[in-house]
């Protein structure tokens, strides 16, 4: 799958570190990446979080995991669409 991460969709932020009860114990740096799959324009832009500091392999691993999720989404969508048939889903109803 082709992957696009636009430079303006890369954001650095502080993320809270929580203990088992959900109380903050500190913070860590993280990046949020806006990932698109241009071959599948019907899919949304996915947000991928990666702990910072990063290296290329961390980014590739995170994006690959998101691509696997996107592929599964495409398969689920296609399965339901095939159940609905090839007709256009357009009709009138009275309310």
Q: How confident is the model over 61-95, as pLDDT tens digits?
A: 999 999 999 999 999 988 988 888 777 677 788 98
Cβ neighbours of residue 72 under 8 Å, at least 6 residues apart? Answer: none
Query: Facing residues of 47 across strands?
Result: 34
User: What's the mean per-residue pLDDT of the chain?
Assistant: 90
pTM score: 0.72
85: left (phi > 0), else alpha (psi -120 to 50), else beta? left
SS3 62: helix
Cβ neighbours of residue 28 under 8 Å, at least 6 residues apart? Answer: 14, 15, 17, 51, 52
Question: What are the structural domain ranges in the chain?
Answer: 4-84
């Amino acid at each position: 799958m082709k992957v696009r991460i636009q430079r303006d969709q890369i954001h650095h932020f502080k993320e809270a570190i929580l203990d088992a009860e959900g109380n903050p114990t500190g913070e860590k740096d993280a990046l949020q990446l806006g990932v698109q799959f241009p071959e599948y324009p019907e899919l949304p832009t996915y947000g991928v979080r990666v702990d910072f500091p990063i290296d290329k392999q961390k980014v590739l691993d995170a994006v690959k995991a998101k691509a696997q999720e996107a592929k599964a989404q495409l398969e689920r969508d296609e399965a339901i669409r095939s159940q609905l048939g090839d007709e256009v889903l357009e009709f009138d109803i009275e309310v």
